[in-house]
Amino acid sequence: MNSQYFDFSALPAPDIIEPLDYETIYQARKDRFKSLAPQYADALELESDPLTVCLQVESYRELLLRQRINEAAYANLLATAKSSDLDQLGVFYGLVRAEGEEDGNYRLRIRQKTLASSTAGSKDHYRNAALTAAPNTIQDVEVDSPAPGRVRVSILFQDKEHADALLQQVRNHVLSDQVKVLTDQVEVNHAEEVPIDVKADIYLQDNVPNWVFTQLEGKLREAWQETMALGVAMTPSWLSAQLHVEGVKHVEIHTPNSLIDIASNQYAQLGQIQLCLIT
| Domain residue ranges of the chain, discontinuous segments joined by + | 3-75, 83-190, 194-278
CA distances from 219 to 162, 201, 216 (A): 25, 16, 5
Taking each helix axis from N to C end, the angle separating 216-227 and 236-243, rounded to the nearest 10 degrees, works out to: 130
Tens digits of pLDDT across the chain (279 residues):
444 456 777 888 888 999 999 999 989 988 888 888 888 788 778 777 788 888 888 999 999 999 999 999 999 888 889 999 999 988 888 778 888 888 888 888 888 777 666 566 678 888 888 988 888 889 999 999 999 889 999 999 988 889 999 999 999 999 998 888 888 899 999 999 999 999 999 999 999 999 999 999 999 999 999 899 999 999 999 999 999 999 999 999 999 988 899 999 999 999 999 999 998
Which pTM does this prediction carry? Answer: 0.62
Which ranges constitute the DSSP H helices of the chain?
22-36, 50-75, 83-92, 103-116, 123-133, 163-174, 211-214, 216-227, 236-243
